[in-house]
Amino acid sequence: MKRTKRMRKIGTALLAIMMMFALSASVFGETASAASAIDESAALKIALKNAGLSKSSVRMIEVEKESSKSIDVEFVRSSNKAEYNYEIAVKDGRILEKSVEYKYTKTTSKSKIGQEKARKAVAAFSGISYNTIKKGTCTYQYSKKMGKYEVKFRSGNYKYEYELLAKTGKVIEYEYEYTGTR
């Protein structure tokens, strides 16, 4: 009988502790989530890590908080002058959008590798399955004395767009955008 009373008291005490913990979590939950939001410095680190670069290997760094939901990060790689643009979610540091534009030499050639090879070049460059890429679109464009392929497709919660030189299949620009809930 004494043991049963003691067990009830322990159970009641544990229940009270659990209720206090739950109450404190709901009261302080907003503060905790605000504390986990990232700032401009963290957004720059996320973008550099994604690009596989260090701060010393880039120049013209611009970091700007666009809204309460995202931070824009832009920089140029010193070695090949590629331009990187990111949109990073303030809430959790997820990359919402990324675009990279590579410098290249224009060619006046109208020769082209063909759509299948263009898609395969994108698959090799991105690491995304060719079967996923071929479900999207691939269009040839000739403008300003240069031929390009534009390959667009979706994979998971992202939509992708790549531009390639039509003669060589070299990726000259790409971007992706998060299409899930922000």
Structural domains present in the chain: 36-103 (3.10.450), 106-182 (3.10.450.40)
Around Cβ 99, how many Cβ atoms within 10 Å? 16
Contact between 62 and 84 (Cβ < 8 Å) = no
pLDDT one-digit tens code per residue, 131-180: 999 999 999 998 877 899 999 999 999 999 999 999 999 999 999 999 98
Give dist(CA 112, CA 137) in Å, integer: 17
Which of the four pLDDT bands, split at 50, 70 and 90, describes residue 8?
Answer: low
Q: In whole angstroms, what is the distance from residue 84 CA to residue 74 CA? A: 6
- What are the pLDDT digits (tens) for 108-129? 777 899 999 999 999 999 999 9
Query: CA-based angle 127:130:132, to the nearest 5?
Result: 95
**Per-residue CA distances from 108 to 4, 111, 118, 144, 148 (Å):** 90, 9, 18, 9, 11
Sequential DSSP letters for 105-154: ----------HHHHHHHHHHHH---HHHHTTSEEEEEEETTEEEEEEEEE
Cα–Cα distance measured from residue 35 to residue 29, given in angstroms and rounded to the nearest whole number: 10
For 68-110, how does the pLDDT look when each residue is reduced to its tens digit (9 = 90+)?
899 999 999 988 889 999 999 999 999 999 999 998 877 777 7
Quote the CA–CA distance of 165 and 76 in Å, as a whole number: 21
Amino acid in position 97 = E
Q: What is the pTM of this model?
A: 0.70
pLDDT at 25: 38
